[in-house]
Amino acid sequence: MYADKKQSVLSARIRVPNLLGMNIRPAQEKDQPVITRIVRAARINPFDLKWQNFLIAEDANAGNIIGVGQIKTHGDSSRELASIAVIPEKQKQGIGAAIVRALMQNEKPPLYLMCRAEMESFYVRFGFRQIGVDAMSKYFRRMFRLVNAMPEFLREGVRVIVMKWDGEGSRQSTVVSRQTNSES
């Protein structure tokens, strides 16, 4: 019942035109294994992957899932753009950006995300800005400290940052985003 309601809210949000040979739609229960597989293969946070929170990009011809992303809500009410992943053979075609824009559509600020420092420029184009510990919600303050202290990240020199969208910047259509991308 709750899932149905949430799905209809998600459906109402999607306004991404099918200009990239793909469709974006809310995930269904049957998509769970593929969502989990794509996120794990991308080697990003493999926890909290509830299909109810996901939008998926589907190849318009083949019908297979080529990208995923979600917005999840934490205990302190902060909302996170997360689990953005596109299968390797479909990357660099604007699909990741289209998923982010579809997720942000009708979303109210603030929205947070955590990413590796080198991903910052990808998210800046959507209006996200890196923030310091003082500007983080309780959940992100805790996670930021925890993740950056992980031995494997320290060993590999991985640095994770928190970014916040305050309502500034672009949430426009995919077409506009590609034009903007080439200008940035």
Ligand X SMILES: CC(C)(COP(=O)(O)OP(=O)(O)OC[C@H]1O[C@@H](n2cnc3c(N)ncnc32)[C@H](O)[C@@H]1OP(=O)(O)O)[C@@H](O)C(=O)NCCC(=O)NCCS
Does residue 108 touch ligand X according to CB under 6 A? no
DSSP state of 108: P
State which of residues 56, 65, 97, 104 lies at the interface with ligand X (CB under 6 A): 97
State which of residues 36, 52, 78, 93 lies at the interface with ligand X (CB under 6 A): 93
With contacts defined by CB under 6 A, name the span among 21-29, 86-94, 146-154, 160-168 that binds ligand X: 86-94
Instruction: Report helix, strand and coil shares of the chain as percent, to nearest 5.
Output: 45, 25, 35
| C-alpha span between 24 and 51 (Å, rounded) | 14
State the nearest-atom distance from the C-beta of 42 to ligand X, in Å. Answer: 4
DSSP state of 107: P
32 or 122, CB closer to ligand X?
122
The distance from CA 26 to its chain's CA centroid, rounded to whole angstroms, is 13
Hey, what are 126's tokens? 């959507």
Does residue 115 touch ligand X according to CB under 6 A? yes
Does residue 161 touch ligand X according to CB under 6 A? no
With contacts defined by CB under 6 A, name the span among 23-31, 111-119, 127-135, 150-158 that binds ligand X: 111-119
Does residue 48 touch ligand X according to CB under 6 A? no
Does residue 94 touch ligand X according to CB under 6 A? yes
Q: Give 48-62 as a 3 state SS string.
A: CCCHHHEEEEEECCC
State which of residues 96, 101, 112, 131 lies at the interface with ligand X (CB under 6 A): 96
By beta carbon distance, the residue nearest ligand X is: 96
Residue 98, CA distances (Å) to 2, 58, 136, 144, 149 in order:
26, 12, 26, 27, 32
Binding site for ligand X (CB under 6 A): 42, 44, 84-86, 91-97, 115, 118-119, 121-122
